[in-house]
Amino acid sequence: MTVIYNFSAGPAVLPKEVLQQAAAEMLDWHGSGMSVMEMSHRGAEFMSIMDAAQQDLRDLLAIPANYKILFLQGGGLGENAIVPMNLMGLRPDATIDFVHTGSWSGKSIKEAQKYAKVNVAASAAENGFTSVPARDSWKLTADAAYVHLCTNETIDGVEYHFVPDVAADTNGAPIVADMSSHILSREIDVSRYGVIFGGAQKNIGPAGLTIAIVRDDLLGQALPCCPSAFDWKIVAENGSMYNTPPTYAIYIAGLVFQWLKRQGGVAAMEQKNIAKATLLYDYLDSTDFYENRVEKAYRSRMNVPFYLKDETLNASFLAAAKERGLLQLKGHKSVGGMRASIYNAMPFEGVQALVHFMQEFAQASHK
Amino acid sequence: MTVIYNFSAGPAVLPKEVLQQAAAEMLDWHGSGMSVMEMSHRGAEFMSIMDAAQQDLRDLLAIPANYKILFLQGGGLGENAIVPMNLMGLRPDATIDFVHTGSWSGKSIKEAQKYAKVNVAASAAENGFTSVPARDSWKLTADAAYVHLCTNETIDGVEYHFVPDVAADTNGAPIVADMSSHILSREIDVSRYGVIFGGAQKNIGPAGLTIAIVRDDLLGQALPCCPSAFDWKIVAENGSMYNTPPTYAIYIAGLVFQWLKRQGGVAAMEQKNIAKATLLYDYLDSTDFYENRVEKAYRSRMNVPFYLKDETLNASFLAAAKERGLLQLKGHKSVGGMRASIYNAMPFEGVQALVHFMQEFAQASHK
């Protein structure tokens, strides 16, 4: 097997140690004679895996005791419906405030309109989603049900590097944050949020697992139409075992959490992510051959979209990259160009290899 | 590793060959340098896995061209809401007919009441869910939206060995069948059903994958409250890629489908399942030490609940079984006793080992 670096936006690269352990344990987990895939979710073996995964995630993000960790299914798109279904039951006439920063918050806005009145408090559409609108431009709703943010836009490469204050303008509305593509990449103060959610398939583990971190007082507010299997209160009361959870995905996520702890936790990971992102953005800013269009203050450390100035070279760029083992660099079809997703599991060497290749490709094309 | 036999009701035993292949391919699928878990769901590699899995399932069940195969999330309990959400949009005032044959159809009835009027056309509650009510006792609704059956009750061990005719009494209502725990265990005539659905974690693969087989004319009938990610029409139009599908679970399911083909397909598997079930039921009927309480005509080939006549011996039975490598035989907490789930991946030798142990345990206890 040649060394490859996988820049997929998700499902995405996982730590090699995690995959090695998963392969070694596939037929016999800890002498049980069973694969994790074959275990009853209610048996002692899987319960120990589940409990450890929850506790490790709680440790990694310093999640306060008054927040529940829920393991769900349906991904970020599923949660776009499940979030308003869970939060609009007590005040169905209230308004949800959104900040529109790119493709993912756009999808959330569209889906939420099925369940509630929606106000787009601010939008970066006019600049092509290359920034987070300044906080003082947000037109929030007094008495909003909640304020929905996508704190890292996977497709547009825009990230919040601040936590906005919204309580004063909304009469205390909680922030609901879609952190799918940067959760565990940086330290966060969970207490600033009411709900944090995300699909696992970027920085946590396999597709098919969704994680929600919900403040206790926000449980029990579901609309009558919310399916029981997605009702956070029911899921919380049953320890994420109301319906059969995606057991193998939880096991892999648990291995990733253990790996993160061995790396020094989220704080250490954040420093590595800053180093990786700096290397790539510094190169992009130093050349006329490529460009990243996001304002510097809002650039994502996880997803780096970039364009060749001469887009007729796109196909040959991708082919030459693949030849070097630099995989899945094609940008999302909605924005074109290239995208390097450099999640936690992407080693520094992978970004070095990418920059080195980009330099060579630029030089060869200039001849 | 000692030889064990895993009788879990789900997540459940998988074919050893499948697990061996998954372990071998964990770090490098077919020379791609990537784990299947790390692949973009839109890349050529995963698309080939997805297409093969769909085609193999279509082949195995002889699914006609006018049915879509959908890969979803949320399991059987999720689908209990998602089914009425998808079928009640055109006639929200119509009634859903249910036949109540045990725990799972009971859960389906309760959840459906959130979305529609429900009629329990027949119930086996009065005999403790030990049969399927005779077809001529069903009180169906003229013009019903659909008729929901759970064709194998995992907890109660009751299975339909017939497909009822309901069209004449309902003005052509389709049958919606929850086949979670016996799909692929026997030949079925898909054209007799409007919708077939099930969680994968019994006879197909890992928990977290849900499969729905939907007749084309039943797409596009969703209630407005149905989340887009679970709207069968949207899922079908996007080839089960509207939201990121549970890619690794689909890969494992695909390996199981290939394994089933190598075993001779569903017809051959059905013969093996009959042989396994016959061995176990014949023994149960031959002894006064154990009993199965389900009427013979409705006994499940997949899930065999049984009781020790002297229930004070339950704990020592389970401990002795575990000592022999016969795992997860404890019955569901709601019904007690024991349960042997003998899905496709349980070899005949596993049932032989179980019966042998049960004989020895009975003899030792009689001393």
Would B214 be classed as within a structural domain?
A: yes
B61 and B180 inside one domain: yes
Whether A28 is catalytic is no
| Alpha-carbon distance values, A239 to A51, A73, A210, A234, A235 (Å) | 9, 14, 14, 9, 6
State the Cα–Cα distance between residues A293 and B207, nearest whole angstrom. 41
Q: What tokens appear for A175 in the block? A: 């922030």
Cβ distance A34 to B6 less than 8 Å, yes or no, reads yes
Contact B244, A207 (CB under 8 A): yes
A229: nearest CB among B38, B81, B209: B81
A331 touches B: beta carbon within 8 Å: no
CATH number of the structural domain spanning residue B316:
3.90.1150.10
Could you report the average pLDDT of every consecutive run of 10 residues in chain A (367 residues)?
A: 87 97 97 95 96 98 98 94 98 98 98 98 97 98 98 98 97 98 98 97 94 98 98 97 96 98 98 98 97 98 98 97 96 95 98 98 89
Would B350 be classed as within a structural domain?
A: yes
A150 and A255 inside one domain: yes
Contact A16, A346 (CB under 8 A): no
B164 and B305 inside one domain: no
Cβ contacts of residue B304 below 8 Å, gap of 6+? B157, B277, B280, B281, B284, B292, B339, B340, B341, B342
The pLDDT tens digits of the residues spanning B299-311 come to 999 999 999 999 9
A20: nearest CB among B27, B205, B206: B27
A116 and A39 inside one domain: yes
Q: Please list every residue in chain B whose beta carbon sits closer than 8 Å to the beta carbon of residue A249.
A: 206, 208, 246, 248-249
Q: How far is B228 from chain A (nearest CA, A)?
A: 7
Q: Which of B262, B291, B313 is the last residue of a domain?
A: B262
B40 and B187 inside one domain: yes
Q: Residue B182: its pLDDT value, please?
A: 98
B11 and B53 inside one domain: no
B234 and B285 inside one domain: no
Would B22 be classed as within a structural domain?
A: no
Q: How far is B283 from chain A (nearest CA, A)?
A: 26
Q: Among B279, B61, B210, B252, which Cα is nearest to A38's?
A: B252
Residue with tokens 């203050």: A297
A358 and A336 inside one domain: yes
State the Cα–Cα distance between residues A143 and A193, nearest whole angstrom. 17
Q: Residue A3: its pLDDT value, please?
A: 86
Q: Residue B366: its pLDDT value, please?
A: 79
B40 and B171 inside one domain: yes
Contacts with A, B 269-298, CB within 8 Å: none
Q: What tokens appear for A252 in the block? A: 């892999």
Q: Which of B229, B262, B295 is the last residue of a domain?
A: B262
Cβ distance A4 to B33 less than 8 Å, yes or no, reads yes
CA angle B187, B189, B193 (to 5 degrees): 130
Q: Residue B3: its pLDDT value, please?
A: 86
A240 and A99 inside one domain: yes
Would B24 be classed as within a structural domain?
A: no
Task: State the catalytic residue, choosing from A68, A202, A233, A330.
Answer: A202
A342 and A298 inside one domain: yes
Cβ burial, residue B36 (10 Å; 0-12/13-18/19+): buried
What is the ipTM score, two decimals? 0.97
Q: Would you give per-residue pLDDT tens digits along chain B (367 residues)?
A: 568 999 999 999 999 999 999 999 999 999 999 999 999 999 999 999 999 999 999 999 999 999 999 999 999 999 999 999 999 999 999 999 999 999 999 999 999 999 999 999 999 999 999 999 999 999 999 999 999 999 999 999 999 999 999 999 999 999 999 999 999 999 999 999 999 999 999 999 899 999 999 999 999 999 999 999 999 999 999 999 999 999 999 999 999 999 999 999 999 999 999 999 999 999 999 999 999 999 999 999 999 999 999 999 999 999 999 999 999 999 999 999 999 999 999 999 999 999 999 999 999 997 6
Q: Residue A128: its pLDDT value, please?
A: 96
Q: Which of A232, A262, A292 is the last residue of a domain?
A: A262
| Alpha-carbon distance values, A295 to A127, A138, B89 (Å) | 10, 18, 45
A228 touches B: beta carbon within 8 Å: yes
Q: Over chain B, what HEC string results?
A: CCCCEECCCCCCCCCHHHHHHHHHCCCCCCCCCCCHHHCCCCCHHHHHHHHHHHHHHHHHHCCCCCEEEEEECCHHHHHHHHHHHHHCCCCCCCEEEEEECCHHHHHHHHHHCCCCEEEEEEECHHHCCCCCCCHHHCCCCCCCCEEEEECEECCCCEECCCCCCCHHHHCCCCEEEECCCCCCCCCCCHHHCCEEEEECCCCCCCCCCEEEEEEHHHCCCCCCCCCHHHCHHHHHHCCCCCCCCCHHHHHHHHHHHHHHHHCCHHHHHHHHHHHHHHHHHHHHHHCCCEECCCCHHHECCCEEEEEECCHHHHHHHHHHHHHCCEECCECCCCCCCEEEECCCCCCHHHHHHHHHHHHHHHHHHHC
Domain around A131: 17-262
CATH number of the structural domain spanning residue B92:
3.40.640.10
Cβ distance A246 to B13 less than 8 Å, yes or no, reads no
Query: Based on the structure, what is the number of domains in chain A?
Result: 2
State the Cα–Cα distance between residues B9 and B7, nearest whole angstrom. 6
Q: What tokens appear for A64 in the block? A: 């306060």
Region of A300 on the Ramachandran plot (φ > 0 left; ψ -120 to 50 alpha; else beta): beta
Cβ distance B246 to A207 less than 8 Å, yes or no, reads yes
Q: Among B158, B89, B85, which Cα is nearest to A225's?
A: B85
Q: What is the DSSP string of A6-31?
A: E--SSS----HHHHHHHHHTSS-GGG
Q: Residue A58: its pLDDT value, please?
A: 98
B247: nearest CB among A9, A39, A206: A206
Contact B152, B196 (CB under 8 A): no
A121 and A219 inside one domain: yes
Q: Kind and range of the H or E element at A269?
A: helix A265-286
State the Cα–Cα distance between residues A160 and A168, nearest whole angstrom. 20
Would B294 be classed as within a structural domain?
A: yes
Q: What tokens appear for A1 in the block? A: 């097997």
